Amino acid sequence: MIPKEKAEELYNMILYTFQGYIDEYTAKKCALISIDEVITLLKNRKNNSSEDDEWKVNLNLLFMEYVKEELEKL
């Protein structure tokens, strides 16, 4: 899955889960908050990971940062 697809998936998941209760702006903000939390967790894990796992964490961190950029474009 590419970052744009993941951004749209997360946004739509939030929007349709709370359909009728939140608008598109709020769904986007909720998705951005979620991504920020994931990025924070990955950064914390990066500081505590072994060298073998560090590249995996960096890859996931980079992916999530791209997802955040795509969400901001929605």
pTM (two decimals): 0.87
pLDDT digits (tens, 9 = 90+) for 7-36: 999 999 999 999 889 999 999 999 999 999
The separation between the first and the last C-alpha atoms of the chain, rounded to the nearest angstrom, is: 17
* Token pair listed for 67: 């997802």
Contact 46, 57 (CB under 8 A): yes
pLDDT digits (tens, 9 = 90+) for 52-73: 788 888 999 999 999 999 999 9
- Rounded Cα distance between 14 and 20, Å, is 11
List the domain boundaries for the chain.
Answer: 3-73
- Rounded Cα distance between 53 and 72, Å, is 29
Q: What is the DSSP annotation of 19-42?
A: BTTB-HHHHHHHHHHHHHHHHHHH
